[in-house]
């Protein structure tokens, strides 16, 4: 099931998500990891398939209109609380996450979230692809909240580059601590009134504020 428009068409690329994603595209996304991340951050493709089997709304992908190849992607997943805590501690790398740690979406449920990756192929950078993917991520979180009453009590990310830190900051993440593997642990609390507003989170923050005024902060599974 999809929570936002499955195709955002630009001049040279399209943003796809939900049931527009397939295993072949995930395999291509993993190849982008090989280009962008150190070996210790590499996931096996079968592990990513396991994540996708548990929840097929965890990927947002940019696809080149001419070649049909994946040129960028975001991975964002609802995860178990204990895995959230381990990631937030900075003591583990996300390769410890198994398919059992990724949760399916259920209406009316509050989750812990993990913003795992935002990657754009080096040849396609500086063309607004990351911006469009982040806008689609924001739309996903907004529609989960407004259409299905699905909220996130907290979101964690492990930024392994300065670009990653910048992009996460754009959507409201704050630095928490350095990790044991020379990256930066960042978190986002969409219920907080201290999150800096931007075009990536303005409507999401309104939805979370309205929920908080009615119900308080949700209890995550």
Q: Which long-range contacts (CB under 8 A, 24 or more apart) does 44-51 make?
A: 47/95, 47/97, 47/98, 47/99, 49/23, 50/98, 50/99, 50/102, 51/75, 51/77, 51/97, 51/99, 51/102
Check residue 40 and give its pLDDT: 77
Kindly give the parts of the chain with pLDDT less than 70: 1-11
Round to whole Å and give the CA distance between 134 and 129.
9
Domain residue extents for the chain: 7-215
Run of H or E including 208: helix 202-215
- Return the percentage of the chain with pLDDT > 90, whole number: 81
**CATH superfamily of the domain spanning 7-215:** Gcn5-related N-acetyltransferase (GNAT) (3.40.630.30)
Run of H or E including 14: strand 13-17
Check residue 190 and give its pLDDT: 97
Check residue 6 and give its pLDDT: 43
84-107: pLDDT as tens digits:
999 999 999 999 999 999 999 999
Check residue 5 and give its pLDDT: 36
Check residue 44 and give its pLDDT: 87
Coil/strand/helix, residue 158: strand
Check residue 9 and give its pLDDT: 45
Round to whole Å and give the CA distance between 205 and 193.
9
Handedness of CA 20, 22, 24, 29 (dihedral sign): positive
Check residue 11 and give its pLDDT: 64
Check residue 7 and give its pLDDT: 45
Coil/strand/helix, residue 73: strand
């Amino acid at each position: 099931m999809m929570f936002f428009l499955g195709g955002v068409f630009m001049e040279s690329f399209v943003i796809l998500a939900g049931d527009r994603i397939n295993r072949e595209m995930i395999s291509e996304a993993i190849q982008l990891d090989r280009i962008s991340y150190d070996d210790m951050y590499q996931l096996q493709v079968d592990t990513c398939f396991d994540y996708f089997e548990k929840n097929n709304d965890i990927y947002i992908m940019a696809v080149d209109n001419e070649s049909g190849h994946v040129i960028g992607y975001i991975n964002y997943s609802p995860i178990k609380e204990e895995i959230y805590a381990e990631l937030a501690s900075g003591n583990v790398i996300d390769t410890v996450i198994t398919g059992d740690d990724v949760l399916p979406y259920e209406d009316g449920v509050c989750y812990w979230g993990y913003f795992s990756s935002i990657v754009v192929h080096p040849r396609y950078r500086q063309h607004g692809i990351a911006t469009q993917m982040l806008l689609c991520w924001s739309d996903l979180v907004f529609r989960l909240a407004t259409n299905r009453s699905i909220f996130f009590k907290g979101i964690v990310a492990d930024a392994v580059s300065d670009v990653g830190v910048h992009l996460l900051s754009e959507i409201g993440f704050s630095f928490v601590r350095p990790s044991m593997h020379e990256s930066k642990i960042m978190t986002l609390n969409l219920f907080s009134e201290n999150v800096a507003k931007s075009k990536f989170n303005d409507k999401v923050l309104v939805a979370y504020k309205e929920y908080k005024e009615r119900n308080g902060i949700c209890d995550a599974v």
